Structure 1
Amino acid sequence: MTEPTDAERLSRAFRALDTAGVIAREDYGWGRGDGPVIMGGEREKSFPRARGFVHDAVDRGPGLLFFGVFTDRPRQAPEEQAAIGHEVVEALREQGLEPSWNGDPGRAVELAPGAWKWHTPREPDHGRARGLLVNFDDRRLDNGGLARAAGEGVAGDGLWRELLYRLTPTPNSYMTFIAPNDASVQLVWEEGPLLRVEVPDPRERVFRFAHLPLNRAEQVVAALAEDGRQVLGDFADLEVEPWG
């Protein structure tokens, strides 16, 4: 399996922040002032317990991450804003990235532009060995990130992993992977954020599912990519839900 790209490392860091209560969005907004406004709307709709936020503004050119806290006061408290900045930097470093920031809450965290070199699925080519077929719907509030991409294609080694981590954990965002032997795995984000991982059972017309952290979901999809195995049951006791 290929090593993670810097773009995948950024997505991994952002998903860790989401889980920790900091709404993290790639390709989001146009500048520093968008965070409290746009992110506030996302918090109100889907993530009421979020403490803070971080986002880039790709339209201004990749490289800057803007961050802050949610507050009812006229201005953010500098020490609270700086604490979010430190949390963002630590999450990035844990994924092997090298952010630059001097601790000033008024200054953006900087990253090398390579962290925004995303890839997209290719169209199916039946004359070549294919990877996993993938289809998805990213339900984030704006039209950035995967919401810009065609919602289906083929994802080879490494790319399926990047897509998995880029899917915004907004409720009802989903991604389905289908192996050449037609075995499949679907991932659906629910409120929390919680990730539901499910496999269909056509014979009994049910879904078997469990809630897993992203790193476990990655292992489930890896087995599907390697040899078409459905190994969800190896990670949890599965619940059952009838189709339709």
Structure 2
Amino acid sequence: MIDNSFEGPLRDRARFLTGLGYHDFATVVRQCADVLDDPAEETVRPIVEEAFAAHLGEQESWPDELDTDRLHRAFRELDMAGIVARLDHTCCQNCGISELGAEVPKGEDRRGYVFAHRQDMEAAVSGGGLTLSYGVFGNGEQPADAQAGIGREVADALRRHGLEVGWEGDPGKRIEVPLTWRRRRFGVLADWPGAEPAPSGQPMEISYCDMPRGGVQNAWIPASFPHARDVLLTMAPYTGNYINFKLRSRGGLIAAWGPGPVLTFEIPLDEDSAREVTIAEAERLVSVLANEGRVALTD
């Protein structure tokens, strides 16, 4: 039995983690169990099941393109431009800033950063929009001009991808993004004890490595284009992370993050085909593979 004093916070946490959309069912259960003095997962599981059932039912009526797709697209573009861009990064702003240096690989440099911490994500998932911190790497106070420059790049990227931005250039203020937080769950993120069988007849299969958060999916799993695109856009841009795309008939692609960070696509067993791509080009390649059944890397 769950103590009445814990049931409300537990349901809130289950709804938040399910809506956040980055953790699978088992992880949500474990994190929800932390709310209780006696973290027995079997007492938590029914509440998480309710949250998953409600979320998966709601997402059926959502539009194809979501604000979170636009946000992830902008963040990957910023990463490739030398600005570390992270969501749900640590618990608070102070910890977020102090730990961002670990996001820069040894021997590499980054010009700046932008991130939202866990408290920001809680506000966004509950409907309050997203607030972003930004700045330049270094010790001591932020040079105002340099910090404002990073802020402008972040704001421009968000607007370029169709998001509204509430920021007038003041480096002393955080960037407000009045988006609607909706994360569609696919694949392992949509799997739970009451899940319907995965749709058959998907155009492709994928496998991937998305460390540290998404883990390793060695087994091939059926994927629609929106599913494959979601994995592509949310994958952390760490060297060694990759996605394999395979058509059910014949042909496929490999996408991999490397130092820089840069995103490279290549045809399996054909190293000469490898080339660096932008996020827009990457989406187009995956779209053509899924929707037209052909490899367009050499077009």
TM range (shorter): 0.7 to 0.9
Q: How far did residue 29 of structure 1 move? A: 1.7
Q: How far did residue 7 of structure 1 move? A: 0.9
Secondary structure of 1:211 counterpart: strand
Secondary structure of 1:233 counterpart: coil
Give structure 2 stretches of 5+ with no counterpart: 1-62, 125-129
The TM-score, its normalising length taken from structure 1, stands at: 0.79
Residue in 2 that maps onto 1:86: 152
Q: 1:120 to 1:107 in 2, by over 3 A?
A: farther
Contact kept, 8 Å, 2:164 with 2:179, in 1: the verdict is no
Q: 1:179 to 1:187 in 2, by over 3 A?
A: same
The TM-score, its normalising length taken from structure 2, stands at: 0.65
Task: Summarize deviations over 1:151-205 as a string: whole Å, max 9, x none.
Answer: 774332323223212222211111112222142211011111121212224xxxx
Secondary structure of 2:285 counterpart: helix
Residue in 1 that maps onto 2:281: 216
Match of 2:138 among 64, 71, 76: 71
Residue in 2 that maps onto 1:232: 297
Counterparts of 1:57-206 in structure 2 under 5 Å?
57-60=117-120, 61=122, 62=124, 63-72=130-139, 74-115=140-181, 117-121=183-187, 125=197, 128-140=200-212, 143=213, 146-147=214-215, 153-201=221-269, 206=270
Counterparts of 1:15-30 in structure 2 under 5 Å?
15-30=76-91
Q: How far did residue 114 of structure 1 move? A: 2.2
Amino acid at match of 1:40: G
Match of 2:98 among 15, 33, 37: 37
Contact kept, 8 Å, 1:67 with 1:81, in 2: the verdict is yes
CA distance in 2 between counterparts of 1:70 and 1:118 reads 33
Q: How far did residue 92 of structure 1 move? A: 0.3
Q: Percent identity?
A: 29
Q: 1:20 to 1:159 in 2, by over 3 A?
A: same
Task: Summarize deviations over 1:66-85 as a string: whole Å, max 9, x none.
Answer: 1111123x211223222211
Secondary structure of 1:232 counterpart: coil
Q: How far did residue 125 of structure 1 move? A: 4.8
Runs of 4+ residues over 6 Å off in structure 1: 149-152
Amino acid at match of 1:104: D
Task: Summarize deviations over 1:29-76 as a string: whole Å, max 9, x none.
Answer: 222213332211222x2573211100112354132211111123x211
Secondary structure of 1:192 counterpart: coil
Residue in 2 that maps onto 1:237: none
Range with bigger deviation, 182-191 or 118-127: 118-127
Range with bigger deviation, 186-195 or 163-172: 163-172
Amino acid at match of 1:77: P
Greater Cα radius of gyration, structure 1 or 2: 2
Give structure 1 stretches of 5+ with no counterpart: 235-244
Q: 1:131 to 1:31 in 2, by over 3 A?
A: farther
Secondary structure of 2:93 counterpart: coil
Secondary structure of 2:202 counterpart: coil
Amino acid at match of 2:93: R
Contact kept, 8 Å, 1:31 with 1:57, in 2: the verdict is yes
